[in-house]
Structure 1
Amino acid sequence: MMPLRQQLRDESDFDQLPDDVPISATIADIEEKKGFIDYFRFVIEVKTKGASKYLIYRRYREFFNLHQVLEARYSPEVPDKPGPNTIILPSLPGKVFMGVKQDIAESRIPELNTYMKAMFDFRGNDKAELNLKRGEVIFLLRRVNADWLEGTVNNQTGIFPKSFVKIIKPLPESESEGEGGAHTYSYLRCFLLTPSGVATRDVCVQEDLTIQPSYKELLSRMRNVFKEDDIAVNYRDPEGDLIRILDDEDVQLMIKESCVQQVNDKRPVNQFPWELHVTMTSDLSVYNTEA
């Protein structure tokens, strides 16, 4: 029986995807390429949600490199025991160092097809791949390879196919390209605390992580984000208690304390080290009033 989580995804998120999104990939053939080194590459037929098809061409080493990246980031230290931020990846056929190249390539087709099917089947159902919904803004972290990106959205960090999204702010082509004063997108994690629960928002900020906003700027932005006017902005101190922000000096103190805590926090590289907790102005029950 199909797991409920996968069934709900198939019935909701899938319908929201554009027609040109790939939904399956199958190796249809192999092709010999001649040059300084002769090699074979796999001819992969990709089918889209809209029932169209196209071909892409990949060498085995591209499968291998992608798998190494995924293993380094998501594989559990103890086999068969995934933790909260790990998954058990499908098996990739191993390298072969001796034999006829064409025979080796042809022998890999069944296992690689199984591998690709597994990669498509676990989309969005684990910690490696992001759940994507139409209209969401994903904060890009890095390229995995030519077809896959890594980013953050809704408290999740993971990979996703580049073809699923429209790039608003591209990543630098090289590590040095993002230096020299060029702005990149950062994001601020915010929480709205209400009696009915907590709402989380990742707010896109076109400033680098060293920016120190004013109290009025933070208050105005939070009013716009959560569509509430009568609010207070807060942060959590090292003991976990909420501290209400009332002026620019409180903002400075928040940033100073967050830099101390940042050493122990494992956050994406483009996330501000401080977070905002938004409450209703009249709600004083959220504060620790013990002496």
Structure 2
Amino acid sequence: MILHVDHISLKGFFSSRILHRKLHFRLIAPPSFRKGEKDFPVLLMNDGQDYTALGLEKILTRSYTQKNMRPFLYVGLETDQNRMHDYGTASTADYKGRGEKAGLYARFVTEEFIPFLKKEFRASSRKEDWVYCGMSLGGLSAFDIVFNHPHLFGKAGVFSGSFWWRKKAYTKKDPEDRSRIVLDMVKEGTYAPHLNFWFQCGTLDEKADRNHNGIIDSIDDTLDLIRELESKGYSYPGQITYVEIEGGKHDLPTWAKVFPDFLKWAFGRREAQ
């Protein structure tokens, strides 16, 4: 009998001293992980509890069979009632106090969880091999952590990111809308030449258009962030990829549909990209 393995799956939890609680995670590895001959690139994802709803088992298994893809580990960090406290920007909570533990969450990821994965699961020690992604508020969190820890990551992927996150309520008297936290975070941050960013928005992500310019806010916020990254020195196109899905919504089906394209961007072999 010949044994065929589609993927290797593991579920567990990590007891964080920084957050003072257990965080559950799911790890998926390609069949070649059994050979134990090398370290693997890693896709770290916020909102890992959406693994089944996103249909990631099928997506990842198919990816592992494609010769133009590098084998990689998927690690989904699950969240719960702490989501609105953990996700956000580490530098500051938003004007309503949301994301007040984002700094601690970033420390958990970078100081505890990543070293754990490197030690226990042969996760790569090369920063260029690490990709962090997330959807909505989880995408804001992933971007924030990657941008501020370039020594640990090579890429960030954001699906319908909550880049509206702001220091104060929106006002028409602020035409440049600099209260959005990520804009000044990028402006005041340091350029890291190896970083790459992937952003996705859907034309039906929402209906709100606070500045009445005919562009929904989620797209406006993402394009403004891209311009800020360009000002910092990142190339677009090039280091920055932007995917706009006509009719795409702020929901799991939209993100699942585009996820294979994201994986190709993240782990496709150079000659295939």
Query: The TM-score by the shorter chain falls in which range?
Result: under 0.3
TM-score (norm 1): 0.23
Return the structure number with greater helix share: 2
**Higher-Rg member (1/2):** 1
The answer to which structure, 1 or 2, has the higher relative contact order (CA under 8 A, 6+ apart) is 2
Bigger fraction of residues in strand: 1
